[in-house]
A and B are shown apart, each in its own frame.
Chain A
Amino acid sequence: MSIGSEKIESKKVSRFEKAVNSLFDYINGLICECGVTMIFLMSSFRAMFQKPSRYTEVLKHVEFIGNQSLLIIALTSAFTGMAMSFQIYLGFSLVNATNLVGPTVGLGITRELGPVLTGLIVAARAGGAMAARLGTMRVTEQIDALEVMGVNPIQYLVAPRVIAALISMPLLCGFFDFIAMTGSYFLCVQVLGLDEGVFFDKIQLWLNPRDINEGLIKAAVFGLVFAAVCTHKGYNTKGGAKGVGEATNKGVVNSMVLIIAINFVMTNIIRFFDVLLERL
C-alpha cells in the first residue's frame, strides 16, 4: 500500500472515529439529560401534594393542552385513518382479505399510531409553548420574582402543567382513535364499498378494550415525558431570546425522540407480559 493511500485510509478512520464519538457524546448527553429531567420531575411530583392546591392552574392548562389541540388532532387523525385504510385495503385486496382492513387499522391506530401521533403533535404544540413560556419567564426574572415572593415556582408553574398533560393526553388519544376510525369507516364503507356489517363485525371480533387501554396508558406516559422535558428545558433557560429559542427547540426535539423510543420499549414490555400471561 502506498503512503498516499495510507494517509487517505487514516483520514477515513479518524472521520469515522469522530462520527462515532459524536454519536456516543449525543447518546451520553441524552442519558444525562434524562437523569436530570427525572430529578426535576420528582421535585414536581413532590410539589403537587404541597399546599396551596392549584386546581385553577391545572384546569387552565388542561384547556390549553387538551381543548385547544382538538382541531389539529381531529384533522391529523381523520387523514391518518383514511390513508392507512387505503394502503391496507390495496395490500389486502391482493390476497382477498379486505374484510380485515377494519381490525388491522383499528389495532394499528389504538395501539401505536394513536398515542404516538398524539404525543408528537401535542409535544410540538403544547410542549413548545410550555418551554417558550417558562423560558421567557426565566430570562425576564419572573421566576425569580415568584421565588422572592415566597411562592415555589415548581409548584406554581411546573406541577400544574405536568398534571394537565397527564390528564389531557389519554383524552386526546381516545379522541384521535375515534376520529381515525371514523375516517377509516368513511373511506372503507362509503368510498371503497366494503360491507358495513362486516367492517364493524370484524372490528368487534379482533379489537379488544385492552388494545385501546394500551394506547391510552402510552399516551399518559408520553404526556408525562413531554411535559417533564419541555418544562425542565424552559425552567433552566439561560441567556436572552437566543436561550429561549434553544430551550424550545431542544425541548420539542428531545420530547419527540423520547416519545418514539419509549413507545418501542413500552410495546415490547406489553407484548412480553402478554406472552407471560398466556403461558400462565
Chain B
Amino acid sequence: MNAVELHNLKKSFDGGNEFVLNGLNLTIPKGSLTVIIGYSGTGKSVMLKHILGLIKPTSGKVSVLEKDLWQMSDQQIMQLRTKVGVLFQHAALFDDQTVIENVCFPLSEHRRTKKIDEIKEISAKKLIISGIEEKHFHKLPSELSGGMRKRVGLARALALDPEILIYDEPTTGLDPILTEMVDDLIHETHMREEGRVTSIIVSHDLMAAFRIGQHIVMLDKGKVLHSGKPEDFLNSDIALVKKFVEKGIKKK
C-alpha cells in the first residue's frame, strides 16, 4: 500500500510557459522514511504543497492514502488533512497561544467529544515525547529557542496521531548540534511509530538524508532525477547526483 502517489504531475504558475513540476512520478510506500533532496528551485516545496492539497496541479494525479485528492470535495480534503501532520520550516506556531495551547489546538478542533482535561493530558504526553519539559508548557513561542520551537511543532504535528508526517526543511537555519538533535528526533519518532507512520522529509541536507533516510529521492527540474537507498546514491553514475553527493560530503 502506498501513502503517496504522484502520477505525471505538472504544475505551471504562468499559464504553461514554464513548468515547476514537469511530469513528476513518485511513489512513497506506507511506513517508509523518505527523504526528498535537491537543489533550491527544483520544485520540492511545490511538490509538498500538492501532497497537502494546498495547490491544484495543472495536470496529473495526486493520491494520498489511496485517495485521489482532486476527486474529493473541500470538506473531504479537510478531513484527509487531519491524517497528515506537518512540521513547518519555522515551526509556524501560533504566536498568541502558549506551548500547550498550540498542541491542544488540533485536538480541540477535531476531537470535540473529548473533555478539555483529556485533551491537555494527550498534549502534555506529546510534548514530553518530543522533549519539552513541563516547565515550558505555559511559555509563548517567542520565549523559546529555535530547537525547542521545532520540538513543539513536532508535538503539534503528532497531536492527531497522523498516518503521514511531513517535515519541511526541518533543519534549515539550525546550528550543527541542533541539526543532529532534530534529525535524531525525526528518526526516533519514526522508529517509535514504525509501520504505522510514513515520514516524508524535504531537505537539502545530504548528510542527514544518508543518516536517517531509508529511501532517498532527488528532484531536478521538476522531475525525479534519482531514487533509491542511500548506498545507491553513493554509487550513482548520474553527474548531477555525483556532484550533489561530493559537495554534501565536502561540506560535512
Report which A residues bind B (CB closer than 8 A): 52, 136, 140-142, 144-145, 147-152
> Contacting B94 at CB < 8 Å: which of A142, A147, A148?
A142
Are B81 and A150 interface neighbours, CB within 8 A? yes
Are B79 and A148 interface neighbours, CB within 8 A? no
Cα distance, A78 to B82, chains bound together (Å): 52
Q: Which residues of chain B have C-beta atoms less than 8 A from A149's C-beta?
A: 81-82, 105-106, 109-110, 160
Identify which of B85-93, B115-123, B183-191, B220-228 touches chain A: B85-93
With contact pairs A141-B88, A141-B92 given, residues A148 and B109 touching in the complex (Cβ less than 8 Å):
no
Q: Which residues of chain B have C-beta atoms less than 8 A from A144's C-beta?
A: 54, 88, 92
Q: Can you give 24 contacting A-B residue pairs, CB < 8 Å?
A: A52-B109, A136-B95, A140-B95, A141-B88, A142-B93, A142-B94, A145-B86, A145-B92, A145-B93, A147-B52, A147-B54, A148-B52, A148-B81, A148-B84, A148-B86, A149-B81, A149-B82, A149-B106, A149-B160, A150-B106, A150-B110, A151-B78, A151-B109, A152-B78
Cα distance, A170 to B64, chains bound together (Å): 48
A151 and chain B: residue at smallest CB distance: B109
Which residues of chain B (197-221) have a CB below 8 Å from chain A?
Answer: none
B86 and chain A: residue at smallest CB distance: A148
A-B pairs, 3 with minimum CB distance: A141-B92, A145-B92, A150-B81
Q: Which residues of chain B have C-beta atoms less than 8 A from A141's C-beta?
A: 88-90, 92
With contact pairs A52-B112, A140-B95, A142-B95 given, residues A148 and B54 touching in the complex (Cβ less than 8 Å):
yes
> Contacting A142 at CB < 8 Å: which of B78, B92, B112?
B92
B109 and chain A: residue at smallest CB distance: A151
With contact pairs A140-B95, A142-B95, A144-B54 given, residues A150 and B90 touching in the complex (Cβ less than 8 Å):
no
Q: Beyond A141-B92, A148-B81, A149-B160: 12 further Cβ-contacts under 8 Å?
A: A136-B95, A140-B92, A140-B95, A141-B90, A142-B95, A144-B88, A149-B109, A149-B110, A150-B78, A150-B79, A151-B106, A151-B109
Q: Which residues of chain A have C-beta atoms less than 8 A from B52's C-beta?
A: 147-148
Cα distance, A147 to B95, chains bound together (Å): 16
Q: Which residues of chain A have C-beta atoms less than 8 A from B82's C-beta?
A: 149-150
Cα distance, A255 to B57, chains bound together (Å): 35
Looking at the assembled complex, report how far the CB atom of B154 sits from the nearest CB atom of chain A, in whole angstroms: 13
Q: Which residues of chain B have C-beta atoms less than 8 A from A151's C-beta?
A: 78, 106, 109
Which residues of chain B (41-59) have a CB below 8 Å from chain A?
Answer: 52, 54
Majority secondary structure of chain B interface residues (helix, strand, loop or mixed):
loop
> Contacting B81 at CB < 8 Å: which of A52, A136, A147?
A147
Q: Which residues of chain B have C-beta atoms less than 8 A from A142's C-beta?
A: 92-95
With contact pairs A150-B79, A152-B78 given, residues A145 and B112 touching in the complex (Cβ less than 8 Å):
no
A141 and chain B: residue at smallest CB distance: B92
Q: Which residues of chain A have C-beta atoms less than 8 A from B92's C-beta?
A: 140-142, 144-145
Looking at the assembled complex, report how far the CB atom of A1 sits from the nearest CB atom of chain B, in whole angstroms: 49
A51 and chain B: residue at smallest CB distance: B112
Looking at the assembled complex, report how far the CB atom of A238 sits from the nearest CB atom of chain B, in whole angstroms: 13
Which residues of chain B (117-169) have a CB below 8 Å from chain A?
Answer: 160
Cα distance, A147 to B80, chains bound together (Å): 11
Cα distance, A150 to B85, chains bound together (Å): 10
Q: Which residues of chain B have C-beta atoms less than 8 A from A147's C-beta?
A: 52, 54, 81
Cα distance, A138 to B89, chains bound together (Å): 14
Most B CB contacts (10 A, CB to CB) among A52, A140, A141, A145 go to A145
Q: Which residues of chain B have C-beta atoms less than 8 A from A136's C-beta?
A: 95
Cα distance, A140 to B81, chains bound together (Å): 20
A143 and chain B: residue at smallest CB distance: B92
Cα distance, A152 to B74, chains bound together (Å): 10
> Contacting A140 at CB < 8 Å: which of B78, B90, B106?
B90
Looking at the assembled complex, report how far the CB atom of A175 sits from the nearest CB atom of chain B, in whole angstroms: 27
Looking at the assembled complex, report how far the CB atom of A144 sits from the nearest CB atom of chain B, in whole angstroms: 7
Q: Which residues of chain A have C-beta atoms less than 8 A from B95's C-beta?
A: 136, 140, 142
Looking at the assembled complex, report how far the CB atom of B167 sits from the nearest CB atom of chain A, in whole angstroms: 13
Q: Which residues of chain A have C-beta atoms less than 8 A from B80's C-beta?
A: 150
Looking at the assembled complex, report how far the CB atom of B46 sits from the nearest CB atom of chain A, in whole angstroms: 13
Are A145 and B81 interface neighbours, CB within 8 A? no
Cα distance, A145 to B90, chains bound together (Å): 11
Q: Which residues of chain A have C-beta atoms less than 8 A from B79's C-beta?
A: 150
Are A150 and B54 interface neighbours, CB within 8 A? no
A52 and chain B: residue at smallest CB distance: B112
B83 and chain A: residue at smallest CB distance: A150
